[in-house]
Structure 1
Amino acid sequence: MFSIFKTFFWLGWISFGGPAAHIGYFRHTFVDKLGWLDDQEYAQLVALSQFLPGPGSSQVGFAIGYQRQGLLGAILAFIGFTLPSVLIMLCLALLSHKFNQSPLFEGVVHGLKLLAVVVVADATWGMYKSFCKQKLTSGLCLLTAAALLLIPSISTQIILLLFAALIGCKYLASNQSNTHQRFTPSIWPLITFGLLIFALPLMTSGLPLIKLFSDFFQAGSLVFGGGHVVLPLLQNIVGEQISQDAFLTGYAAAQAVPGPMFTFATYIGYQLIPQAPIAGALVATLGVFLPGFLLLLGVLKHWQHLAHVPKVSGALNGVNAAVVGLLLSALYQPVFTSAVLNPSDLVFVLVGFYLLKQLQLPIISIVISFILLGVASNWIV
């Protein structure tokens, strides 16, 4: 059981680059290195997370922990992966504008962004080889990537995933027999979600922490498409309670630190409850993550029953190919465009890919190498 926490805690310290990079780190760790699940199982979890609101990469980690050791494993996976980012955001909230503009900090972040390019490229290529073996699946991958690069939006993403599911249902259905096991959702997580989303707002009068939890739970329930979408939702919640500069500082910090971007809520919660800042930070963090996890628990337990129905299996084959396209588009924007700023950066990426795939160096040595390269290149420039 401790191995789940330990593994995710380590990933929480090195997973820079946003959700696409997290999916790459998870695949490298749990599919390639540890073998906790295979590519098919992993891709199904990624696909499921794309259809639910909430923090996609954290939902994938939560699901991996659940499949490994049930609900306790899922909770340990969440705590382990999220804790480093929460601690860093708390420190930044305490120290405010001290470090995030320093050359050393910027150099470290730049080096780790370059590493994220390597990791996402590796995940994209590995998943392409697994799920795009036919002309149709390769075409779905290409169509998804092209459409998202040309029309980047969450609406485009949802439409493409639904289209891929329909195509897969008709043309990619497997020949396996139907097990006739009916898909039945787990009721208690869905009931809990319903009570919190509808009843809790009626009980917040004069209770700032409960109101804070309710507000952030509402925001987390509406976030399709990852951490960037949470910005306008939280901005509406915050209003004039904190300054625009403080809000944007926290948002910028959330993009720079490792782990899930939803820990932006940690920074905002700290600012909103000055009489109890630590409690505010933790309540806001729990509030924004919880809805996505409750919805995931509602469908995850019996997800495999549904996945074995031939037409559903075909739909998943189509969605898996589209997910590779999602990763491919994310590899370019925002991962590549935000990290590779000049030819020397591209050289570092190519060398890193060689170190990871050909020499198969331990990830810790590659992380340290990219941190040093980032710091050195920042100081030289």
Structure 2
Amino acid sequence: MNETPARPIPRGSARGVFLAFLRLGVTSFGGPVAHLGYFRAEFVERRRWLTDREYAELVTLCQFLPGPASSQVGFGIGLHRAGFRGALAAFAAFTAPSAALMVAFAYGASWFGGAVGAGVLTGLKIVAVAIVAQAVWGMGRTLAPDRQRAAIAVLAAVAALLFAGSPGQIGAIVLGGLAGVIFCRGGDPQAGIALRFPVRRRTGVICLAVFAALLLGGPLLAWGTGSGALTLFDAFFRAGAFVFGGGHVVLPLLQAGVVDPGWVSDQQFLAGYGAAQAVPGPLFTFAAYLGTLAGVGPGGVLGAVVALLGIFLPGFLLLTGVLPFWGAVQRRSWAQAMMRGANASVLGILTAALYTPVFTSAVTGPASFGLALLCFVLLVSWKLPPWTVVLVGAAGGVLSGCLAG
């Protein structure tokens, strides 16, 4: 009788989890990779809620699944520490500050007028070029380190450009995963996960069933009811369900979901994406900005809530659903190979998004190209925090506008 119990008793309170994550929610700048560093410093080194091995295995699982990786890690830490109440507390505390700031920006952006306001919005769009370029630059070294994955990434980029919209992007990810099973095998199987969570297998199956029902039935339900709120929820749910790695990778899926149907303009989209770099917390709260401005659904704060629920829910359902079964799946070589190919496809899709709409919409001449290049160098070589570069881009946009005028 020396087996580890399948459902450990949570060791902390939801209130403690909320307060710990709220502090991170207002101070964690720098995007998903930086968030993982903040989490390790806070919960492994400082609070000792997890060991290094447990934390590393949780991060591996969240990178394996679609969804916002850093938010899923936070959700998992809260779940491990204080059960489902702790998981919800971690999500709410880490997400609410940046979501509130993005809603405020959505309302305030409409007040931007004159040369200064137009210059700030132009600068934010240019910053988005540098941020996405940095993401492609950094992810390329890890997601496509060999010839096979580099080839998959290139083909995925071409497919995303030739077949614009969600079908082309989702198809590229699926085909990339299949190509990975064929061409990206190899490497040592990873050990099974040691970290245990208070999740029964029955609960996992229910979560996976709800995910599948919303993914397959959501479009039909939205079409059948004609509800704008359901249409908005479904668009963000599908974006959250098909994005691997989180963070900047969601950009092309959101662009296809809200810009292509005309719910949000290209200018609004890129300005909001630039502003999202200047706030702490998860980048997926960009959805709050888009839901506030969207031409479908309730709009305003309620639209932001619908969009946030839509984009975060699939990742959390998948994480909760997979946790009871992950150890057995993780050891299989075909699953690891499939994820190598899918991740390479994600890199290709992000590269295509860097070209259009990001670059083509923001860089309109030598001055804007020079500012984008400056922001890129500040991020990559000077390693300035993104919020600082956002300020530089906004100031540069104002200066360029004044000189042009």
Give the TM-score of the pair, scaled to structure 1.
0.68
1-side partners of 2:354 and 2:132: how far apart? 6
2:204 match: 186
Give the 3-state SS of the residue equivalent to 2:65 in structure 1.
helix
2:34 aligned residue:
29
Greater CA drift, 212-221 or 112-121? 212-221
- Equivalent residue for 1:75? 92
Shift of 1:357: 2.3
Partner residue in 2 for 1:327? 350
2:138 counterpart (121, 126, 136)? 126
Residue identity opposite 2:253 in structure 1: G
The alpha carbon displacement at 1:222 in A equals 5.2
Instruction: Give the 3 Å change call, closer, same or farther, for CA 310–196 of structure 1 in structure 2.
Output: closer
What is aligned with 1:262? 287
Q: Deviations over 1:342-369 (max 9, x none)?
A: 1122212222222222222343432222
Equivalent position to 2:156, from 133, 144, 166: 144
Are the structure 2 counterparts of residues 248 and 144 from structure 1 closer, same or farther at C-alpha, using a change threshold of 3 Å? closer
Q: Which runs of 5+ in 1 are unaligned?
A: 15-24, 50-55, 203-210, 236-246
What is the deviation of 1:128? Answer: 1.0
TM-score (norm 2): 0.65
C-alpha distance 34-289 of structure 1, shift in aligned 2 (>3 A)? closer
How far apart are 1:370 and its partner, in Å?
A: 1.5
What is the root-mean-square deviation in Å for CA atoms of aligned residues? 4.3
* 8 A contact 1:61–1:77 mirrored in 2: no
Checking the alignment, whether the CA contact within 8 Å between 1:355 and 1:361 is kept in structure 2 is yes
Q: What is the rounded CA distance, in whole Å, between the counterparts of 2:65 and 2:373 in structure 1?
A: 32
Deviations 1:197-248 (A, max 9, x none): 989x99xxxxxxxx8866654554455663344449998xxxxxxxxxxx76
Contact 1:138–1:321 (8 Å) recurs in 2: yes
Give a deviation string over 1:244-286, Cα, whole Å, max 9, x none: xxx768x96465333445333334699959xxx86x4566456
CA distance in 1, matches of 2:135, 2:121: 21
Question: Which runs of structure 2 are paired with 1:270-285 in the superposition (5 Å)?
Answer: 272=298, 280-281=302-303, 284-285=306-307
Q: What is the deviation of 1:139?
A: 0.6
8 Å Cα contact 2:211/2:314 also seen in 1: no
Mean CA deviation greater in 27-36 or 119-128 = 27-36
1:144–1:325 Cα contact (<8 Å) kept = yes
For residue 318 of structure 2, what is the aligned residue in structure 1?
Answer: 296
Q: How do residues 155-166 of structure 1 correspond to structure 2 at under 5 angstroms?
A: 155-166=167-178
Once residues 260 and 373 of structure 2 are traced to their aligned partners in structure 1, the CA distance between those partners, rounded to angstroms, is 38
Asked whether the 8 Å contact 1:269–1:285 carries over to 2, the reply is: no
Q: Distance in 1 between matches of 2:60 and 2:127?
A: 22
Conserved in 1, the CA contact under 8 Å of 2:33 and 2:70? no
How does 1:9-88 map onto structure 2 within 5 Å? 9=26, 26-30=31-35, 45=62, 48-49=65-66, 59-70=68-79, 71=87, 72-88=89-105
**Residues in 1 aligned to 2:297 and 2:310: alpha-carbon distance in whole angstroms:** 16
Judge conservation of contact 1:172–1:315 (CA < 8 Å) in 2.
Answer: yes
Percentage of pairs with the same residue: 21
Q: CA deviation at 1:5?
A: 3.7
Counterpart of 1:108? 120
Report the 3-state secondary structure (helix = DSSP H, G, I; strand = E; otherwise coil) of the residue aligned with 1:324: helix
- Distance of 2:314 and 2:204 partners within structure 1: 14
